[in-house]
Amino acid sequence: MASKSSGGRVDLPGFFSDLVRCETRLYNALNDRLREQHGIVTSQFEFLRFLRDHPGSRVADLAVEFAIGIGATSKGTDRLEKQAWVTRRTNPADRRSSLLDLTDDGLRLVEAAEETFTRTLAELTSDLLGGPSGPAAAQVLAELRSALERDRVGLPTG
């Protein structure tokens, strides 16, 4: 564990290291479980879940939500469409873009995968997040994300 505080001050490089390594390890563990039980990876699950909760979204909406480039988002969406989990329809407000919706198979997949995702995440985090500092840690991360998103920090340039 790298980010210890001394005298009320947080070791920022250590905090960054801990944050990134936690995210990477959780993401990889979820990736492995989703792949073995549902044949998808975490990024596909996240796209499907977003489209379930925001039907009729555009590729650009996904890119903004996940702070990734349009090209990567479009390729990821193409893969979901190829599997018949997502369909595209012409955007009536802008014929140059498409609106994305889950197919029935996509909806069934994301519902099943969400159970696996939630159960796995709980297994990996409940001991710590269920403790006395868990809610404060979750609140700090939510506030940090909100501030970064509000100020449009870290958006891809391409």
Query: Within 10 Å of residue 29's Cβ, how many Cβ atoms?
Result: 15
Q: What is the model's pLDDT at position 8?
A: 78
Cα separation of 158 and 139, whole Å?
Answer: 31
Cα separation of 61 and 64, whole Å?
Answer: 5
Cα separation of 152 and 137, whole Å?
Answer: 22
User: Dihedrals φ, ψ of 92, to 5°?
Assistant: -65, -25
Cα separation of 130 and 106, whole Å?
Answer: 32
pTM over 0.75: yes
What token pair was written down for 53? Answer: 């909760």
Q: What is the model's pLDDT at position 95?
A: 87
CA quadruple 28, 33, 34, 35: dihedral sign: positive
Q: What is the model's pLDDT at position 44?
A: 98
* Mean pLDDT, the chain cut into blocks of 10 residues (158 residues total): 69 95 97 98 98 97 94 96 97 92 98 98 93 92 94 83
Rounded to a whole number of angstroms, the CA Rg of the chain reads 18
What's the burial of 27, exposed, middle or buried (CB within 10 Å: 0-12/13-18/19+)?
middle
